[in-house]
Amino acid sequence: MCLLNITWVLKEIRGMNPSNLKFPVAEERQKMTETKNETVTKYIVISSDKVLPSDAAMKIYESEFSVTVKETCFGLIVTGPKDEVQTVIERIRQLDKNHIFIKDRGFPAGDKRRCRATLGGGPRPGFHFLREEVKMLPAIGAALDELEEKAPLREKLKEKSRIKVSVLEKIIEEELAR
Amino acid sequence: MAKVFIYPANSLILADLIERFGHKPLVIMNQIREKVTSISLDSPPLNITPEDPKLGLRYAAIEVPPGVRGRMALIGPLIEAAEASIIVENPPTNFGCVGCNRTNELMKYLIRSKGVPVLEIKYPELDEEAHDFVSKIVEFLKSLPKEKLGHDEKVADKEPSEKETGK
């Protein structure tokens, strides 16, 4: 009876919605029943001549996974259940294995505590370091390509030789893909 | 699969290379995620509670600025879990959240004194240096055990050779 009176007073006189109210006991019970949600967020940084961030985003939209995708200037931010995100990033990595780089992110995509839209513009915290690293990614990707070809990197740097036909073909394809 | 601590603790290149070659990078982003995505936030918006500087006291004395202790509350558990480490000297940007030089020095000191294999290399500035940078990291990662180490094995492998430390 007393509870009904309180809700009536709040609703009619104060104009508050009683369903939004949380009593301390109810909050404690809610905390006890909560389970840890395994949601993860990953940055996919694309430094490829063949794949654009929009291509990678389309690939995710075509898939059946329930992940949130945010397209950015450097790549994508993907948020979702851990297993699904892991599968998605592996598929995206296969588009251009040595030129797509992935790292974890603490905040979910579009989180108000980090999103520039709510912080009043300007680069978000953490972007400067990412931008510096993105500059090095073409060289890191090229090194990974050479490593994949099983070429001894240090010796190859010293010796001067004619360019291989397969390498020349690859360069032409990359230039034409631009 | 070895747990590899990296410095800078939020590096994209290092985290990606470690994951690419079958190991687990210990990065600060996972620690941040634990804090900011908990369902019940004790201290919104970033969930920094009075317990965090206390946790930092395990790594730094009370006279040390609270910023160092606060950072060590996040980074310290990563160092404790580390089975190997890659330290990159002179990264181009050391400002913002990772710009506290005292924390960085303490972090590097703790990981060196822990006795796990440590690779210390210089941040590349030219393309040729990037090739060398990648090859050194790949060699180091390939030398790490793929299977998870037990505690006793970890203690036995504690002596890093001069080659591993890159000096």
Smallest Cα distance from A38 to chain B, Å: 10
Taking a C-beta distance cutoff of 8 angstroms, is the pair B112, B164 a contact?
no
Q: Is the ipTM of this complex over 0.90?
A: no
Whether residues A132 and B92 touch (CB distance < 8 A) is answered with yes
A74 in contact with chain B, both atoms CB, cutoff 8 A: no
Helix B12-20 and helix A127-148, axial crossing angle in degrees, nearest 10? 40
Contacts of B28 in chain A (CB under 8 A): 106
Q: How far is CA A69 from CA A10, A176, B7, B8, in A?
A: 41, 29, 28, 27
Smallest Cα distance from B152 to chain A, Å: 30
- Region of B78 on the Ramachandran plot (φ > 0 left; ψ -120 to 50 alpha; else beta): alpha
Strands (E), B98-153: 118-122
Taking a C-beta distance cutoff of 8 angstroms, is the pair A51, A101 a contact?
no
Give pLDDT, residue B52: 83
Residue keyed to tokens 């940084």 = A45
- Strand-pairing partners, residue A76, are A44, A71
What distance in Å separates the CA atoms of residue A38 and residue A83, rounded to the nearest whole number? 9
Between A31-45, A161-175, B22-36, the lowest mean confidence (pLDDT) is in A31-45
Q: Is the pLDDT of residue B149 over 60?
A: no
CATH number at residue B80: 3.40.50
Whether residues B135 and A132 touch (CB distance < 8 A) is answered with no
Determine the residue of chain A that is closest to B131 in CA distance.
A143
Whether residues A153 and B132 touch (CB distance < 8 A) is answered with yes
Residues A114-156 have pLDDT tens digits of: 888 888 888 887 888 888 899 999 999 999 998 888 755 555 5
Determine the residue of chain A that is closest to B94 in CA distance.
A129
Residues A3-18 have pLDDT tens digits of: 445 556 556 655 655 5
Q: Taking a contact as any Cβ pair under 8 Å apart, which residues of chain A between 143 and 172 contact chain B? A: 143-144, 146-147, 153-154, 157
Q: How many other C-beta atoms can be found within 10 angstroms of the C-beta atom of residue B132?
A: 17
Smallest Cα distance from A173 to chain B, Å: 21
- Region of B115 on the Ramachandran plot (φ > 0 left; ψ -120 to 50 alpha; else beta): left
Whether residues B32 and A106 touch (CB distance < 8 A) is answered with yes
Interface probe with A: pick from B11, B27, B29, most Cβ of A within 10 Å: B29
Determine the residue of chain B that is closest to A102 in CA distance.
B16
Number of domains within chain B:
1
Q: How far is CA A7 from CA A17, A131, B162, in A?
A: 8, 53, 73
Residues A37-69 have pLDDT tens digits of: 589 999 999 999 899 999 999 999 998 888 999
Mean pLDDT throughout A21-40? 60
Give pLDDT, residue A31: 55
Whether residues B131 and A137 touch (CB distance < 8 A) is answered with no
- pTM for the model stands at 0.75
Instruction: Pick the closest to residue B142 from A3, A147, A94 (CA basis).
Output: A147
What distance in Å separates the CA atoms of residue B152 and residue B2, rounded to the nearest whole number? 15
- Domain span at residue B134 reads 3-165
Radius of gyration (Cα) for chain B, nearest Å?
A: 16
Contacts of A105 in chain B (CB under 8 A): 29, 33
What distance in Å separates the CA atoms of residue B37 and residue A79, rounded to the nearest whole number? 12
Whether residues A153 and B11 touch (CB distance < 8 A) is answered with no
Smallest Cα distance from B96 to chain A, Å: 7
Residues B40-87 have pLDDT tens digits of: 667 777 888 888 888 889 999 999 888 899 899 999 999 999 999 999
Residue-range domains of chain A with CATH: 2-33 (no CATH), 39-151 (3.30.70)
